[in-house]
Amino acid sequence: MTLAGGHAGDAPRAPIRPSRWWYWVAGCLLAGAAICIVLAVAGFFSLNRQIQGFQRVRVPGQGEVTFAQPGGYVLYIERPGQCCSVAAGTGNSAPFASWSMRAGLVPVAGGRPPSLSNWGSSTESYAVTGHQGQAALSVTIAHPGKYLLGATNVSPRSITDIAVGRGIGHAMLIPFLLIGAAVFVFLPAGLLVGGVTAYRRHRARRLPGQLTSQG
C-alpha cells in the first residue's frame, strides 16, 4: 500500500515576474531626474552670481579693471535689463543686432596693450536682474594686474556698459545638459520601467492558474 501526505494545493508557488526590485530601479531613475533638476537650478543661480560679479565700465568713457589671473576673458556689451534668460548660438536672441565702438585696454603699470578681438559669428547673451548683455570682444591676458578699459564712438546709444569677466559658455551649457538628461533620459526611463513593471505584475496576477507568491 502506498501512502502520500499533504494536499494538492500545497505545490510551491513561483514568484510573480517581474520582480518588485524593478520598482527600486524606477525610483532611482526618478531620483536621478530630480537630482539633475536641482543641480541645474543651482547652476543657473551660480551663473547669475557670475554675471552679477562682472567688472563694469560705463560707456562712452573709461575705467579701471583688474585681472587677477592670466587667461581668456570676454567683454560683454550691456544695457539695463530684466531677469531672466541665457542663450547661445547664431539666432536673433541677442539684445544688439549690430553694434560698433572703438575700444582699448591698456596696462596701468605700462607695457604692451593686449589685443582685443571680435567675438565671432556665434552669440552669448543673457538677461539677469539689472543687466542684459551679449558677448562682443575677447582678450587674452598674459600679465595679470590693473588695466584701463576705454570705449568711444559707441553705437547704438542704448549700450551703457562694458562688462568684463570669464566667458559664460560652459556655465550656460551644464544646466541645459542636466535638464536635458532629466527630461529626456531619467524621467521617461523611470516612468517606463515603473509603468511596465506595474502592468506586467498586474497582468501576471490575473492569468488563469497563476501562482501568487510575491517576488
pLDDT at 90 over 50: no
Q: Considering the entire predicted model, what is its pTM?
A: 0.77
Most confident of 62-66, 130-134, 196-200: 62-66
Residue with cell 490575473: 206
Rounded CA-CA distance 26/142 in Å is 51
**Nearest residue to 200 (alpha-carbon basis) of 29, 15, 27:** 15
The residues spanned by each domain of the chain are 54-169
Section 182-206 average pLDDT: 91
Are residues 16 and 202 in contact, defined by beta-carbon separation less than 8 angstroms?
A: no
SS3 123: strand
Residues 6+ apart with CB under 8 A from 178: 36, 37, 39, 40, 43
Rounded CA-CA distance 108/84 in Å is 35
Query: Using one digit for the tens of pLDDT, what is the confidence trace for 55-86?
Result: 999 999 999 999 999 999 999 999 998 777 77
Query: Using one digit for the tens of pLDDT, what is the confidence trace for 95-117?
Result: 898 899 999 999 999 899 999 99
Between 169-181 and 21-52, two packed helices, what is the crossing angle to 10 degrees? 160
Positive or negative, the CA dihedral 116, 118, 124, 130 is positive
Q: Residue 71's pLDDT is what?
A: 96
